[in-house]
Amino acid sequence: MLTPFVAVDVTVLDTNLRAMADHAAAHGVALRPHAKTHKSPEIARRQLALGATGLTVATVSEAEVFADAGDLFIAYPIWPSDEQVARLRALRERTALRIGVDSAESAEALGRALPGLEVLVEVDSGHHRSGVVPAEAGAVAVAADKADLLVRGVFTFPGHAYGPSRQQPAVDQESAALAEAAAALTAHGLDASVRSGGSTPTAALTGDTLTEMRPGVYVFGDAQQVELGTCGWGRVALTVTATVVSRSGQRFILDAGSKVLGADQQAWATGGGRLLDLPDARIVALSEHHATVVLPEGQPVPRRGDRIRVVPNHVCATVNLADELIVTENGTPVDRWPVSARGANT
Amino acid sequence: MLTPFVAVDVTVLDTNLRAMADHAAAHGVALRPHAKTHKSPEIARRQLALGATGLTVATVSEAEVFADAGDLFIAYPIWPSDEQVARLRALRERTALRIGVDSAESAEALGRALPGLEVLVEVDSGHHRSGVVPAEAGAVAVAADKADLLVRGVFTFPGHAYGPSRQQPAVDQESAALAEAAAALTAHGLDASVRSGGSTPTAALTGDTLTEMRPGVYVFGDAQQVELGTCGWGRVALTVTATVVSRSGQRFILDAGSKVLGADQQAWATGGGRLLDLPDARIVALSEHHATVVLPEGQPVPRRGDRIRVVPNHVCATVNLADELIVTENGTPVDRWPVSARGANT
């Protein structure tokens, strides 16, 4: 097979899927995995078979790909342009649908266009992206209710958990923010029965506030999760197989660069990804088609033509660059799964 | 049109294409643009019509897409696996072909498989990726010659020019490295008539050593080039149109994130991209489907639903995430060009 290619170890994948399903069940929390990570109907099917309550998606076009799941949450404050409204109307004919809202203005526009649509109010729990501060959640919910939307609760994304030792503080903030926002809805006589949050780095710490969690990355794991300590090497299900094309001293070059791995690199990352079988190696630079790797002095350097498995930093980006995933079992390719929602950005 | 989408202003594009063609002609340097940036046959056609001597590509699969250009250089030290050899043989039937080589070992393997193939010896001029130090270029060239390859000269990529004030030093190193390597070839009686280098940030500084330049990004420009001072705002031909979906104080959120823009962000960048019509705005964070933008106090914040043009940091990554480019003229869509080599990584 030509390199680079994106391979998924189906045994590890299934272990990851089952472990998260069991974890959610043990804590009495609904699992609504984020499909943005895998973008693959075959993996969604496995998640639902293991008891997922539905799927989370980020965009309307992802929702269109996964409508057969039957129960979708678009965890995004969609602005209802005429074109988006037409697509959301068509989607509602195909699946139970819930979307995010984070302002009275968008609630009013959504309600006019799609009366009766279920919504969750998005709350900023410290990531400072979209979402309102908890104190404003009540006002947004009241506006949504008046606009003929069906308010079901609140949601947040604790994205600030992506950093060393930041998981517990982020979970504490998430719990507090969702609890405060839910109380505000209840005070207005509105339904706050859904309190949705969670992410892969915080999944193990799920507290008492959440009723629903939306992890995505857990299906594959990636170098970020390994370096955060939220995923062991043995739970990395997706790698990019690359070929050594050049070498000089302790440096060698792989034919996998940012156009297959993605360029995501947090400030705390050790490099542009990791090598599954060479844990001491560091990807010191990533060009579009080159990974520049350095091994410590004394460690044997792979030869030209050798094949090496790269663990990408952020697996969501990697999958979104691939047309298909090569499915392997005990190292042997057994299937190919299309990345049906690749590029589904609108 | 649904956002986000990738738009190319064809007037600016044609200005950029003509300016680089004129610049190369004025300096007597062959222009062999790198097609990895645009991945689009329509843009390749325009480059060739303006006098480009051929195209540069990074991979065999890119070469397969652009074979009709008739003269290709794969600027990459391909490791000739059996599958790559079969594809290179088929390519030679379709086009003049030249590839990179940076070791005696790969030269010998290539020569056995593809006798008579034209090669350039790759030299490391300071970027420390692939390529040999100039002093070793002679040995690689001799091995290539013995292996029945046709040595035509040397090439380098001065990637270390990507930094503030680093262009002139990188060009000086590029010139010195190519000159030293070419002299080594000549000393062995080998052809060193091609001395190929160049990149968009160094294009204006092309010295006396180069016989061929291979810029890619110049066709579109991007935020990196603007921030390096090697491209004015008026020469930015590609933008991603996004919609404001959320706002809070001086912060607002666009529906374009790393899955459409790419996640490239050099240490010296001001953020995750720039806004063409709001030069004081900073993209302080980029998630997969959110750009978090902050405007200085006092500047009016766009409203929800407003459309904003984002200039990506690194346009090659952006194009590789798109299936098509929306071609505009005076702000009006006039055509769609397929990104035919999207994902062509092998």
CA–CA dist B268, B162 (Å, integer): 10
Which residues have CB under 8 Å from B105's CB, separation 6+? A304
pLDDT at B33 over 80: yes
Enclosing H/E stretch for A140: helix A134-146
CA–CA dist B302, B318 (Å, integer): 24
Tell me the helices (H) and strands (E) count for chain A, helix number first.
Answer: 10, 17
Q: For the segment B294-329, what is each residue's pLDDT rounded down to a tens digit?
A: 999 999 999 999 999 999 999 999 999 999 999 999
Residues of B in contact with A130 (CB under 8 A): 245-246, 253, 290
pLDDT of residue A207: 76
Which residue on chain B is closest to A3 by alpha carbon? B346
* A28 Ramachandran zone, left/alpha/beta (phi>0; psi -120 to 50): left
pLDDT at B206 over 90: no
Domain boundaries, chain B: 12-218, 225-338
CA–CA dist B66, B57 (Å, integer): 8
pLDDT of residue A194: 98
State the smallest CA–CA distance between residue B320 and chain A in angstroms: 7
| Residues written for chain B | 346
Q: Which residues pair with B195 in a beta bridge?
A: B154
Query: In which band, very low, low, confident or very high, does the pLDDT at B208 lie, cut at 50, 70 and 90?
Result: confident
Q: For the segment B74-85, what is each residue's pLDDT rounded down to a tens digit?
A: 999 999 999 999
Inter-chain CB proximity A248 and B314 less than 8 Å:
no
A contact test, residue of B56, B102, B130 with most A CBs within 10 A: B130
CA–CA dist B201, B311 (Å, integer): 17
Residues of B in contact with A289 (CB under 8 A): 36, 58-59, 76, 345
Inter-chain CB proximity B103 and A246 less than 8 Å:
yes
Largest distance between two CA atoms of chain B:
69
Q: Which of A4, A265, A345 sits opposite B259 (nearest CB)?
A: A345
Q: For the segment A124-182, what is each residue's pLDDT rounded down to a tens digit?
A: 999 999 999 999 999 999 999 999 999 999 999 999 999 999 999 999 999 999 999 99
Q: Which of residues 114-133 of B touch A (CB under 8 A)?
A: 124, 128-132
Tell me the helices (H) and strands (E) count for chain B, helix number first.
Answer: 10, 17
**Radius of gyration for chain A, computed over Cα atoms and rounded to the nearest angstrom:** 21
Question: In this structure, which amino acid lies at residue B77?
Answer: P
Q: Which of A259, A264, A317 sits opposite B345 (nearest CB)?
A: A259
Largest distance between two CA atoms of chain A:
69
CA–CA dist B330, B164 (Å, integer): 33
Q: What is the ipTM of this complex?
A: 0.97
Nearest to A67 by CA among A84, A86, A87: A87
The answer to whether B139 contacts chain A (CB < 8 Å) is: no
Give the DSSP letter of residue A264. -
The answer to whether A331 contacts chain B (CB < 8 Å) is: no
pLDDT of residue A208: 83
Average confidence score pLDDT of chain B: 97
State the smallest CA–CA distance between residue B198 and chain A in angstroms: 16
pLDDT of residue A230: 94
Map B261-312 to HEC letters.
Answer: HCCCCCCCCCCCCEECCCCCCEEEEECCCCEEEECCCCCCCCCCCCEEEEEC
Residue A163 DSSP SS3: coil
CA–CA dist A334, B210 (Å, integer): 49
| Residues written for chain A | 346
Domain A225-338: assigned CATH number: 2.40.37.20
Enclosing H/E stretch for B258: helix B258-261
Per the listing, tokens 């609108």 go with A346
Q: What are the backbone dihedrals phi and psi of residue A77, each rounded to the nearest 5 degrees, phi first?
A: -80, 75
Residues of A in contact with B323 (CB under 8 A): 343
Which residue on chain B is closest to A303 by alpha carbon? B105
CATH number belonging to the domain at B12-218, selected among 3.30.420.40, 3.40.640.10, 3.30.70.3340, 3.20.20.10: 3.20.20.10
Q: Which of A4, A124, A130 sits opposite B346 (nearest CB)?
A: A4
Torsion B33-B34-B35-B37 (CA) sign: negative
Residue B324 DSSP SS3: strand
Nearest to B7 by CA among B272, B220, B216, B246: B220
Q: Which of B2, B247, B287 sits opposite A346 (nearest CB)?
A: B2
Render each residue's pLDDT in chain A as its tens digit; 346 residues.
999 999 999 999 999 999 999 999 999 999 999 999 999 999 999 999 999 999 999 999 999 999 999 999 999 999 999 999 999 999 999 999 999 999 999 999 999 999 999 999 999 999 999 999 999 999 999 999 999 999 999 999 999 999 999 999 999 999 999 999 999 999 999 999 999 998 999 999 877 899 999 999 999 999 999 999 999 999 999 999 999 999 999 999 999 999 999 999 999 999 999 999 999 999 999 999 999 999 999 999 999 999 999 999 999 999 999 999 999 999 999 999 999 999 999 9
**Radius of gyration for chain B, computed over Cα atoms and rounded to the nearest angstrom:** 21
Count of Cβ atoms closer than 10 Å to residue B78 Cβ: 23
Please state, in angstroms and as integers, the Cα–Cα distance from residue B125 to each residue in A210, B167, B170, B216, B335, following that order: 55, 13, 8, 19, 41
CATH number belonging to the domain at A13-218, selected among 3.40.640.10, 3.40.50.720, 3.40.50.1100, 3.20.20.10: 3.20.20.10
Nearest to B91 by CA among B121, B59, B120, B122: B59
pLDDT of residue B213: 97
CA–CA dist B206, A89 (Å, integer): 57
